[in-house]
Amino acid sequence: MSITITMGIQKGGCGKSTTTGILAHLLSKDYKVLAIDLDSQGNLTELLSGQVSNDFVGNSVLEAMEYHDIPSYLHTISDTLDLLPANNFLATFARWLYTGKTYQGERIPYKGSPSLVLDKALNPIRENYDFILIDTPPSLSEQTTNALCASDYVVVMYECSNWCYSAIPNFLDSVGGAKENGERSTEVIGILRTMNDVRRTDAKAFNELIEEDYPDLIFKTIITRKAPVGRLSLYGFQDNKELNQVISQYYAFYKELLNRVQNR
Ligand SMILES: Nc1ncnc2c1ncn2[C@@H]1O[C@H](COP(=O)(O)OP(=O)(O)OP(=O)(O)O)[C@@H](O)[C@H]1O
Ligand SMILES: [Mg+2]
């Protein structure tokens, strides 16, 4: 059975793309994985492909959704990992949804629910994969609602800071909205504390606060701020001498997530 998981939070720079990329890498060792970049920044695209996101203009998740045709826009990373890439033109997604006009000037009117474009496009190909992972932008935009409505589970990314703390309730409301209005079960599988700076007392406080607020949702693993993880955006997954250090940061979380998903 195929399982779809979104990494999300509307606060920027909380480790969504990094975590999605590392999870895709780890899962693809044992499973067939599709990674979907739903952020016009194209960070997941660049991380997994090792190419610039502009290389995928005209061949991206945007066109896959507009033409309701995912297979034609898949980019192969390995035998077990496919990528649906993104680039800056994904910023025109909402304009297409509400006007039917693509950024290339074509008319492809869309009449369905604006939040179910991705879900409907994924349905014919879901069973080709064990896991589908979705990276989202730092906003509660149409891309995010589409990701949530297309997902069985959501990992809430929590960088241990005040502004991320205040983003959590609205994000959880959006997950609830997706469950209510979408056609999948969409539930939070856990809250992941990321980019934790162990030397900062405020980070420690926000670390503890979130655990008190959501004791059943919080993952035990805390991802600390470490240079090799930060440099993953530079070195990627091929010939990266620091990759073992990156994996060791994330492995316990990976196991925790897998365990939760498999025991639902
Ligand atoms: N554990 C970590 N230690 C050090 N640096 C990290 C860590 N995780 C992520 N980074 C770096 O922090 C920055 C933000 O991470 P990332 O891009 O994954 O966050 P994001 O939530 O996807 O951001 P956005 O909201 O802009 O999409 C990046 O430069 C990334 O390389
Ligand atoms: Mg990102």
Question: Where residue 35 falls among pLDDT bands split at 50, 70, 90?
Answer: very high
pLDDT digits (tens, 9 = 90+) for 127-163: 999 999 999 999 999 999 999 999 999 999 999 999 9
Question: Where residue 176 falls among pLDDT bands split at 50, 70, 90?
Answer: very high
Residue 56 pLDDT exceeds 90: yes
Residue 48 pLDDT exceeds 90: yes
pLDDT digits (tens, 9 = 90+) for 210-220: 999 999 999 99
Which residues surround ligand 1 with Cβ inside 6 Å? 12-18, 39, 41, 43, 138, 157, 195, 223, 225-226, 229-230, 233
Question: Where residue 118 falls among pLDDT bands split at 50, 70, 90?
Answer: very high
pLDDT (mean) for 104-109: 96
Residue 246 pLDDT exceeds 90: yes
Question: Where residue 6 falls among pLDDT bands split at 50, 70, 90?
Answer: very high
pLDDT (mean) for 52-61: 98
pLDDT score at 198? 83
Residue 112 contacts by C-beta under 8 Å, 6 or more apart in sequence? 120
pLDDT score at 199? 87
Burial 148-175 (b: 16+ CB within 10 A, else e): bbbbbbbbbbbbbbeebbebbeebbebb
Between the CA of 98 and the centroid of ligand 2 the distance, in Å, is 25
Which one, of 43, 4, 46, 3, lies nearest residue 146 by Cα? 4
Q: Which of 6, 10, 11, 17 to mutate to test the pocket of ligand 1 (most atoms within 8 A of CB)?
A: 17
pLDDT score at 77? 98
CA 181 to chain centre: 20
Tell me the percentage of the chain whose pLDDT exceeds 90.
98
Between the CA of 84 and the centroid of ligand 2 the distance, in Å, is 15
The class that CATH gives domain 3-262 is alpha beta
Between the CA of 20 and the centroid of ligand 2 the distance, in Å, is 9
pLDDT (mean) for 26-48: 98
Residue 147 contacts by C-beta under 8 Å, 6 or more apart in sequence? 6, 8, 36, 38, 118, 134, 136
Q: Report the mean per-residue pLDDT for the chain.
A: 97
pLDDT (mean) for 5-11: 98
Residue 23 pLDDT exceeds 90: yes
